[in-house]
Amino acid sequence: MTAEARWLADLEQRARDALSPAVVEYLLQGARDSITAGEAVDAWGAIRFRPRVLHDVTHVDPGVTLLGHRSELPFGVAPTTLQRAVHPDGELAMAHATADAGGVLVVSSNAGTSFADIGATGVHWWLQAYLPADRTLAEPMLERAVAAGARAVVLTVDTPVVGTKYAGPDVPVVWETVDPDLLRVNFDAGYDDLPGAEKALDLGPDDLGWLADRTGLPVVVKGVLRAEDAVRSVQAGAAAVWVSNHGGRQLDRSAATASCLPDVVAAIGGRAQVYVDGGIRTGLDVLAALALGADAVFLGRLPLLALVEGRDGVAALHRELLRQTVDALRLAGCRAAADAVHLL
Ligand SMILES: Cc1cc2nc3c(=O)[nH]c(=O)nc-3n(C[C@H](O)[C@H](O)[C@H](O)COP(=O)(O)O)c2cc1C
C-alpha cells in the first residue's frame, strides 16, 4: 500500500486514538445491532468490473456536474452533525478544504457554525434539512441558509424519529458530554422546546414543493431506497434523489445502498440526478457507485474522520480519494466519470 492509501485506511484508528470514547462512538455507531452499518462497505466490495481496453486514458476527467454545477470531485461531503466536537474548526475546516478541492459540501441543519461563516469561505454548499411537525418553525433557519448562499436544499426523509443506538459499555452518550453550543447554532434560542419543533412524522411529497417555494432552491431527497419512492419524489419536483440508509443509523437491517441503487437509476435515471452514500471508503468504491449509475457519491464518516486532522486532513482525504478514483477510472478504460456506467 502507498503511504497515502495507508493514511486513508488508518483514519478510523487515528480517530479512535485522538477523540473521546463518546465522540468516537457517535461517529461510528449504527442503529440497534449495526447490521446495516456493518454491511455497507462489503456491498461495494462485492461489485465486479469488466474494464474497457484499447481506449486512450492519457487524460482522465473525474469531475461531475451536480445540479448544473461543475464539481472537480466525483464525491461530495455528506451532512454530518457534531463536526465541532471532532475538531474546533468543524464545518469551517470542512468548507475550506472542500472549496480548495472544487467540491460540493452539504451542511447539516444541526451545524455548529453559522451558515454565514460557511458561505463566506466561498465553498459551493447545499443545506440539509429535517422538517419539524410545524413546518413554519423551519422558515427562519431556511432563510438564513438562502441568505448565506446555499445552492440546493437536501431534505432528509428517512428520519421520522431518530434510530435507536446502543452505546458501548461504559461509554457515555455523546449529548451528555458535548457543549450544546457546538450544534444547532442556526436555530433561534429555545427552538427545540417550542411545540411543533419535533421531527415531522407526516412528511409527504407536498413538502418538496413547500421547500422549493420557501427557498427558491432545487430540492434533493435524501434517504430513498425504493424505486417507487424515487419516482414519487421526482413527480413531486425533486431535482435529485439521494440513495441512502443514513449510514445504517436509522432502520437497522435496511438494505445496502449498493443493492438499491440500480433500481432507482432504472426508475428515474435521465429525469433527475441520482446520488448515493453509505460505506464508500476507497476510489474503487467510487468507481463501483458510478458503474451502477450514480451521478455522484457522498461521503459521511470519511471526511468526519479526516477532520480530526483539521482542514489539512480533509484536504488530504479529497486528494487521496481523487487520486484513487482517477487510477481506478484509468485502469477501467474510462476517460470520464460518466464512462464508468459501461463497466458492469
Ligand atoms: C456522525 C454522523 C452524523 C450524521 N448526521 C447527519 C445529519 O445531520 N443529517 C443527515 O441527513 N445525515 C446525517 N448523517 C448521515 C450521512 O449524511 C450519510 O448519509 C452517511 O454517513 C453515509 O454513510 P458513510 O458514513 O458510510 O459514508 C450522519 C452520519 C454520521 C456518521
The predicted model gives 306-331 an average pLDDT of 98
> Is the distance from the beta carbon of residue 184 to the nearest atom of ligand 1 less than 6 Å?
no
Q: What's the confidence (pLDDT) of residue 167?
A: 82
Determine the structural domain holding residue 246 and report its residue range: 3-342
Reported as a single tens digit per residue, the pLDDT across 329-340 is 999 999 999 999
Q: For the chain, what is the domain count?
A: 1
Model confidence pLDDT, tens digit, residues 50-82: 999 999 999 999 999 999 999 999 999 999 999
Q: For ligand 1, is residue 81 a contact (CB within 6 Å)? A: yes
Looking at residue 84, its pLDDT comes to: 98
Catalytic residue among 59, 246, 318, 342: 246
Give the pLDDT confidence score for residue 342 in this predicted structure: 77
Residue 26 Cβ < 6 Å to ligand 1: yes
Report how far residue 295's alpha carbon sits from residue 249's, in angstroms, rounded to the nearest whole number. 24
Q: Which atom of ligand 1 approaches the CA of 40 most closely?
A: 26
Looking at the CA of residue 79, tell me the nearest atom of ligand 1.
Answer: 17
- How much distance in Å is there from the Cα of 51 to the middle of ligand 1? 32
Q: What is the position in ligand 1's atom list of the atom closest to the CA of 41?
A: 26
Mean pLDDT lowest among 56-70, 156-170, 214-228, 280-294: 156-170
Average pLDDT score over the chain: 97
Q: With contact defined as beta carbons under 8 Å apart, do 254 and 225 qualify?
A: yes
More confident residue, 181 or 139: 139
Please report the atom of ligand 1 found closest to the CA of residue 278: 23
Residue 333 maps to which CATH number? Answer: 3.20.20.70
Q: What is the pLDDT of residues 131-148, one digit of tens each?
A: 999 999 999 999 999 999
pLDDT (0 to 100) of residue 160: 95
- For ligand 1, mutation pick of 108, 246, 299, 302 (most atoms within 8 Å of CB): 246
Virtual CA dihedral for 197, 198, 204, 206, nearest 10 degrees?
0
Q: Is the CB of 247 under 6 A from ligand 1?
A: yes
214 alpha carbon – ligand 1 mean position (Å): 25
pLDDT band (50, 70, 90) for residue 17: very high
Helix (H, G, I), strand (E, B) or coil at 244: coil
Q: Write down the pLDDT at residue 317.
A: 98
Distance of CA 298 to the CA centre of its chain: 4
pLDDT at 87: 98
- Is it the case that residue 250 has pLDDT exceeding 80? yes
Whether residue 246 lies in the annotated active site: yes
Q: Is the CB of 110 under 6 A from ligand 1?
A: yes
Mean pLDDT of 108-118: 98
Q: Is the CB of 218 under 6 A from ligand 1?
A: no
According to the model, what pLDDT value does residue 140 have? 97
Instruction: Say how many Å lie between the CA of residue 298 and the centre of ligand 1.
Output: 10
Spatial distance between the Cα atoms of 317 and 323, rounded to a whole number of angstroms? 10
Q: Whose CA is nearest to atom 2 of ligand 1?
A: 80
**CA of 158 relative to ligand 1 center, distance in Å:** 11
Residue nearest to atom 6 of ligand 1 (CA): 80
Q: In this predicted model, what pLDDT tens digit does every residue of 81-97 receive, in sequence order?
A: 999 999 999 999 999 99
Helix (H, G, I), strand (E, B) or coil at 75: strand
For residue 103, the CA-to-ligand 1 centroid distance in Å is 18
Residue 266 cell numbers, joined = 432504472
Average pLDDT over residues 92-111: 98
Pairing state between β 273-277 and 64-66: unpaired
Rounded to the nearest whole angstrom, what is the distance from the C-alpha of residue 335 to the centroid of ligand 1? Answer: 31
At residue 169 the predicted structure's pLDDT band, cuts being 50, 70 and 90, is confident
Please report the atom of ligand 1 found closest to the CA of residue 154: 11
CA atoms within 13 A on the CB side of 180: 5
Give the separation between CA 319 and CA 270, rounded to whole angstroms.
30
Is there a contact between 280 and 302 (Cβ–Cβ < 8 Å)? yes
- pLDDT (tens digit per residue) in 191-218: 999 999 999 999 999 999 999 999 999 9
Name residues whose C-beta falls within 8 Å of residue 58's C-beta, 6 or more positions apart in sequence: none
3-class state of residue 182 by DSSP: helix
Q: Distances in Å between the alpha carbon of 3 and those of 283, 306, 312, 320?
A: 15, 15, 16, 10
**d(Cα 324, Cα 197) in Å, to the nearest integer?**
43
Q: Whose CA is nearest to atom 21 of ligand 1?
A: 300
